[in-house]
Amino acid sequence: MARTTLGETVGFLFPVLVVLSGADDLAAVPRLAVLLLAGAAEGAVLGWAQSSVLAQVVPELSRRDWIVRTALAAVVAWAVGLGPSTWAAGAADLPASLLVVLAVPVAVVLLSSIGFAQWTVLRRHVPAAGRWIGWTAAAWLAGLGVFTAVTTPLWQPGQEAVTVALIGVLGGLLMAAAMAVVTAAGMGRLLSPRDR
């Protein structure tokens, strides 16, 4: 839990720094590209932190594969997460019922992308590794829920960039901790001999 919390918190600093450095002032496509690169860095740091623990209990696990796939999946998650704000103007004209129908698969991809990518590495070494996808989806749902609950009331229009960044860092830390609690429980269950 501690390494995952630390890894995700440090990784989340990349997107925070990108926003703090003025990425919001860029045109849509360059802003998206810079944020996706920051998301890849976030995923790589998270993957490194997780694999540093996993390699101790699953020695044959490829840390490189875990890190690379986590980074790539983080890019997918960021792309999906940033999608609505990137093309929100066009979505405003769609019927609400269609938006709800579209939101379900978008949410599934967003929440399960990292777990699915990591499963492709884990499945070679852990029985019933497919359950990891569900655990990570639940973890990111919890983490993003905590992030939203903490940051939404604190962020206000007209705040200084440093204040916005500090709120983001606080939200990121709490998001990381919530996600780490759930993934630690999930990995514990997957690696428990009685649950195999």
For residue 165, which of 49, 13, 56 has the smallest C-alpha distance? 13
Confidence of residue 196 (pLDDT cuts 50, 70, 90): very low
Q: Are 11 and 44 in contact (CB under 8 A)?
A: yes
Percent of the chain whose predicted confidence (pLDDT) is above 70: 92
For residue 152, which of 139, 137, 168, 163 has the smallest C-alpha distance? 168
| Count of the separate structural domains present in the chain | 1
* Choice among 83-97, 106-120, 126-140, 165-179 with the minimum mean pLDDT: 83-97
Mean pLDDT of the chain: 90
The span from the CA of 65 to the CA of 169, in Å, is: 28
pTM: 0.89
* pLDDT digits 0-9 by tens, 146-163: 999 999 999 999 888 889
* pLDDT digits 0-9 by tens, 89-108: 566 677 878 777 878 888 89
Domain range spanning residue 103? 2-195
Ramachandran quadrant class, 57 (left: phi over 0; alpha: psi -120 to 50; beta: rest): alpha
